[in-house]
Amino acid sequence: MAEDKIIRTEEEWKRLLTPEEYRVLREKGTEPPGSGELYHNTERGTYMCRACGAELFKSDAKYDSGSGWPSFWQAVDPSKIATETDTSHGMLRKEILCARCGSHLGHVFDDGPKETTGQRFCVNSMSLKFKKE
């Protein structure tokens, strides 16, 4: 069963998120590489959208891409991730968003582990919260 979409005004999001969370999740910001609290996390568990709690990634799909951001080779369920074309900063990229609340997560690239999906979901730590198993 699909989760109901969460629709809030930007004023509601500003009340629910810290200013830095709002900048990344709602204004499509990026945290500096290597600075995120979950970048080096190796514990087993589930990575969820910080804004709405939707389950997005499992720890067994996380790997060290060397990019400076948490990287995953697949989502828990493809329907949990929405994508949009991103042409900011003079680049052509595929932005990933939480399908439930529309919050910015990061980008997906086709340079992930070839023995898996070949994808690299490059996600801001600020966009995630972690639930340990």
Indicate the CATH number for domain 10-31+40-132: 2.170.150.20
70, 73, 78, 83 alpha-carbon torsion, rounded to 10° = 60
Q: Residue 33: left if φ>0, alpha if ψ -120 to 50, beta else—which one?
A: beta
Q: List, for residues 69-94, the tens digit of each pLDDT value.
A: 999 999 999 999 999 999 888 888 99
User: What is the Cα–Cα distance from 79 to 81, expressed in whole angstroms?
Assistant: 5
Contact 37, 25 (CB under 8 A): no
All residue ranges of the chain with pLDDT < 70 are 1-3
> Residue 79 has what pLDDT?
95
Q: Is 122 in the active site?
A: yes
The catalytically annotated residue of 49, 98, 101, 122 is 122
Global confidence as pTM: 0.94
The CB density around residue 60, as the number of other CB atoms within 10 Å, is: 11
Contact 47, 56 (CB under 8 A): yes
Domain boundaries, the chain: 10-31+40-132
> Residue 39 has what pLDDT?
95
> Residue 89 has what pLDDT?
83
> Residue 2 has what pLDDT?
53
